[in-house]
Amino acid sequence: MERISTGIDELDAKLSGGYVKGKGILVTGASGTGKTIFALHFIYRSCLDGKKCMLIATEETPEDILHQGGILGLDLNKYYENGLLTIERVFESRSYQADQKKKYGFETEGLDIDLPYLADSVTEGTDIVVIDNIGVFTLRLTAQDFREQFDVLNYTLDKKGYTTIFIMDDTAYNMTHQIADYSVYGSVKLVVKENPYTGKMERYMGVPKMRSTNILPDMVMFEITSEGIKLKKSKQ
């Protein structure tokens, strides 16, 4: 199976070379745990390798995303300008749209849409898709509706051969009973927790599932530095 670099060397080593090409990976974590930065590593590395990337962003503007990448040594400006990276902004709610219409006289695309619809916005020839964050699409869905819609989205992107990162915030992930894990090929969890011995907050990354890959399901400590995510040494 062809592997694609995650953009984080230590994680590639842990995953026998990286993600399996053409499959969907779920990244979950609470706010501020590093989900967006984690995905920026993947996008940056993919752009360096000449892969066509698409980021569907629900929460941040392209400017904020490019800025965040820049201060971590993941300068995506060039790729955004030459079209290798597309950032699609999807807005937050119908009320936001109504507000926009009232204020500015135009309507924006809303999040009050079915998940499979997101696959339509990916242009032909794309290699890498990141959706940050699918949680905002799930608040009005039952767990069963979410599962059905997420399965269709995942299946559609898989059939088209896109390697996809689905970012989902922990609130939506828990509200849908963590069932998103079952649909995807692999999942990565980011956690910030207190070290009981030192009282300090620490960042951890776990890979509880990666099909066709020999993984240790332990949590590995990491830091976010001026060079982005750095994993500490683990047993594997």
Q: Which of 106, 125, 226, 233 binds ligand ATP (CB under 6 A)?
A: 226
**Per-residue x/- mask for ligand ATP, residues 48 to 87, rule CB under 6 A?**
-----------x-----------xx---------------
Buried/exposed 184-206: b ≥16 CB within 10 Å, e otherwise: bbbbbbbbeeeeeeeeeeebbbb
Assign 3-class secondary structure to 111-173. Answer: CCCCHHHHHHHCCCCCCEEEEECHHHHCCCCCHHHHHHHHHHHHHHHHHCCCEEEEEEEHHHH
**Per-residue x/- mask for ligand ATP, residues 98 to 137, rule CB under 6 A?**
----------------------------------------
Should residue 224 be labelled a site residue for ligand ATP when binding is judged by CB under 6 A? Answer: yes
Report the C-alpha gap between 74 and 43 in whole angstroms.
Answer: 9
CB of 97 to ligand ATP, least distance (A): 22
Can you give the C-alpha Rg of the chain in angstroms? 17
Q: Which of 36, 86, 154, 163 binds ligand ATP (CB under 6 A)?
A: 36
CB of 23 to ligand ATP, least distance (A): 22
Should residue 41 be labelled a site residue for ligand ATP when binding is judged by CB under 6 A? Answer: no
Would you say 24 or 34 has its CB closer to Mg ion?
Answer: 34
Report the C-alpha gap between 107 and 96 in whole angstroms.
Answer: 9
Q: Which of residues 169-188 bind ligand ATP (CB under 6 A)?
A: 169
Report the C-alpha gap between 142 and 203 in whole angstroms.
Answer: 31
CB of 228 to ligand ATP, least distance (A): 8
Report the C-alpha gap between 12 and 169 in whole angstroms.
Answer: 23
Which residues of the chain form contacts with Mg ion (CB under 5 A)?
35-36
In the complex, the residues that contact ligand ATP under the rule CB under 6 A are 29, 31-37, 59, 71-72, 169, 224-226
